[in-house]
Chain A
């Protein structure tokens, strides 16, 4: 579905991604884990068209979308729930969801809204409330719900667990699994919370300093001693990635 080959990207003269190769099949949940500053968010944003890739290509359903503007990529079926949620704080929950429907077909709005509200009943209780007054977990639900309103085929999630209580994190991950299972949306998940991400994902990649250093199934990586040491044991290793774990 999404295939990335030899991707280089960055900001101005600072290169953040040094040749990424990646493949996502339709219907998968794929996780990308790595430490702060590894380039995970940059990879997601490059898929979305900003910043532009300096080399390499991104193909979505066989089409080369590398040089497309962001809004066109979104309309083609790649939804992005960005880091920090970025909901519209002064607009109501309903209006936020309406904004998400821009990429989709306006005629499906009512049924799309119903579908999203059945995934996130909490949002249904808060339709009139301003986005900025929601709790962190609700805002994350709104960000994911908004992304789903455009009927995407691929959902890019950037750290959905950021700053949330463990209970809420578990809830959000259950919903992500549900979105994938019952709605057939392919999910690409970027996470620092490696334990949850690896348990959820069928496959996963580990990124260190802008390169993919490890890949495998979720359970494989969960059992990998290098991954355990760096990202799982007590969570202490999260901030300091290993030098270069052997592939």
Chain B
């Protein structure tokens, strides 16, 4: 097949015109402050460079794309593997990742900085796994997930400050409060689907943020809450010295180090995240988990099979929100300070991107996507302003290369060795 050069040039020209239109307000005008106030500079040279770059890039992509595109398309056709035989590789990869995560603080690579970043990464992995219950399993698009994260964080911050309850008591409390907020959101959106569901959940996320911002008496508004209690190691504070109490390093006879807290927080979030993962893996095999997946595939069929869609959807919202609440309280205790700034829409978007990019419903895919979307930008902070450019570029590449997510294929929840064995097994259960 000969490449259609004229079509490609036309297409590239169109792209260049769009780029020019966008570049005029973005690059063409530049406000700079001077002694006389603000002055407006015109930088139309930049606009020209930008549109030229887009033209050349697009043309190059089209020329390269005829060859690459064909191989991509061929790969894309493999959507449903013919045999549903579960792979043995994926659980092995999962266990290997768990081992790496457990041993990471003991490797020579580990320093404060790395562990701190790994902790942040694990928060997002946990949020991704939590949102996966709502989006990946139940198929309910939720753009306001960060609201539950915020509820959990504020719940811990306020309860621990007002009533002096410890982290371990606040954790279930925060989870329960977030879950009830999940039900609160769930009720009005029961009948909504797709775009409409997305808009309402987006609005819900904003409502929570705006309330936190303006309910000054309780939340301290934009100033936020500081001095949030740090977690204790089963009652032993991880501080240099606390009058009247034994601290962690005194109890174990270690020299005091602030690293202890960092490492403890790392293991804490690792445990929380793994609990989320374990919960999801288990519940997928239970009737309620299967009902979520069935609901995502065909709501009408579900109803005619006797599944109550109201209960099913609300439970997905509630449980997804609960894990965000746990993660939120962890976030609050780790930072020691929270403000509505931390719970903006972009957080929801990143968590959703992790779930979608990971391949809806895939637990390991979410880990990979979180590393890609949160880990890499953290490690490459040196790139500074080009960070977001690289981020956007990576997203585009992934969506071209794997339009259904990094790990798109779904594992059946029931594994059986051989077919005749199942029939026997079924017979044995009979009384």
Residues of chain A touching chain B, judged by Cβ–Cβ distance below 8 Å, are 48-50, 69-72, 74-75, 79-80, 82, 86-92, 94-95, 98-100, 102-103, 106, 110-111, 113-114, 117, 124-125, 127-130, 132-133, 146-147, 150
- In residues 290-323 of chain B, which contact A (Cβ within 8 Å)? 290-291, 293-294, 297-298, 300-309
The answer on a CB contact under 8 Å between B291 and A99 is: yes
- Interface assignment of B39: CB less than 8 Å from any CB of chain A: no
A87-B301, A94-B412, A128-B416 in contact; A74/B422 too (CB < 8 A)?
Answer: no
User: Closest CB of chain B to A99's CB: distance in Å?
Assistant: 5
Residues of B within 8 Å of A102, CB to CB, are 287, 291, 305-307
Residues of A within 8 Å of B31, CB to CB, are none
The answer on a CB contact under 8 Å between B412 and A114 is: no
Residues of A within 8 Å of B78, CB to CB, are none
Q: How far is the CA of A247 from the CA of B367 in the complex (A)?
A: 67
Residues of B within 8 Å of A125, CB to CB, are 419
- Interface assignment of B80: CB less than 8 Å from any CB of chain A: yes
User: Closest CB of chain A to B257's CB: distance in Å?
Assistant: 50
Residue of A87, A88, A89 with most partner-chain B CB within 10 A:
A88
Residues of B within 8 Å of A110, CB to CB, are 425-427, 429-430
Partner of B80, one of A111, A127, A132: A132
A92-B412, A117-B423 in contact; A82/B297 too (CB < 8 A)?
Answer: no
- Interface assignment of B414: CB less than 8 Å from any CB of chain A: yes
Residues of B within 8 Å of A71, CB to CB, are 302-303, 305-309
| Main DSSP-derived SS at the A contact region | helix
The answer on a CB contact under 8 Å between B290 and A74 is: no
Partner of B426, one of A48, A114, A132: A114
Residues of B within 8 Å of A79, CB to CB, are 304-305
User: Closest CB of chain A to B385's CB: distance in Å?
Assistant: 41
Partner of B298, one of A88, A111, A113: A88
Q: How far is the CA of A79 from the CA of B305 in the complex (A)?
A: 7
- Interface assignment of B43: CB less than 8 Å from any CB of chain A: no
The answer on a CB contact under 8 Å between A92 and B84 is: yes
A-B contact sample (9 more), CB < 8 A, given A80-B304, A98-B290, A110-B425: A71-B306, A79-B304, A95-B290, A99-B305, A110-B427, A117-B423, A125-B419, A130-B80, A130-B412
Top 7 closest A-B pairs, CB basis? A103-B306, A74-B306, A110-B429, A70-B303, A86-B301, A80-B304, A92-B412
User: Closest CB of chain A to B425's CB: distance in Å?
Assistant: 8
Partner of A91, one of B287, B412, B422: B412
The answer on a CB contact under 8 Å between B305 and A150 is: yes
Residue of B291, B304, B422, B423 with most partner-chain A CB within 10 A:
B304
Residues of B within 8 Å of A98, CB to CB, are 287, 290, 414
- Interface assignment of B413: CB less than 8 Å from any CB of chain A: yes
- Interface assignment of B83: CB less than 8 Å from any CB of chain A: yes
The answer on a CB contact under 8 Å between A48 and B304 is: yes
Residues of A within 8 Å of B413, CB to CB, are 95
The answer on a CB contact under 8 Å between B419 and A124 is: yes
The answer on a CB contact under 8 Å between B290 and A89 is: no
Residues of chain B touching chain A, judged by Cβ–Cβ distance below 8 Å, are 80-85, 287, 290-291, 293-294, 297-298, 300-309, 410, 412-414, 416, 419, 422-423, 425-427, 429-430
15 contacts between A and B (CB under 8 A): A49-B303, A50-B300, A71-B303, A74-B306, A75-B306, A86-B301, A88-B301, A90-B80, A90-B410, A99-B290, A102-B307, A110-B427, A129-B83, A130-B80, A133-B82
The answer on a CB contact under 8 Å between A74 and B416 is: no
User: Closest CB of chain A to B319's CB: distance in Å?
Assistant: 18
A-B contact count (CB 8 A): 118
A88-B297, A88-B298, A127-B416 in contact; A74/B429 too (CB < 8 A)?
Answer: no
Partner of A95, one of B81, B414, B419: B414
The answer on a CB contact under 8 Å between B426 and A113 is: yes
Q: How far is the CA of A216 from the CA of B101 in the complex (A)?
A: 72
Q: How far is the CA of A169 from the CA of B427 in the complex (A)?
A: 30
Residues of A within 8 Å of B83, CB to CB, are 128-129
Partner of A90, one of B297, B308, B429: B297
Q: How far is the CA of A87 from the CA of B297 in the complex (A)?
A: 9
The answer on a CB contact under 8 Å between B412 and A82 is: no
Residues of B within 8 Å of A114, CB to CB, are 423, 426-427, 430
The answer on a CB contact under 8 Å between A130 and B84 is: yes
Residue ID in chain A nearest B287 by CB atoms: A102
User: Closest CB of chain B to A201's CB: distance in Å?
Assistant: 22
Residue ID in chain A nearest B430 by CB atoms: A111
Residues of A within 8 Å of B300, CB to CB, are 50, 82, 86
The answer on a CB contact under 8 Å between A92 and B304 is: no
Q: How far is the CA of A72 from the CA of B333 in the complex (A)?
A: 45
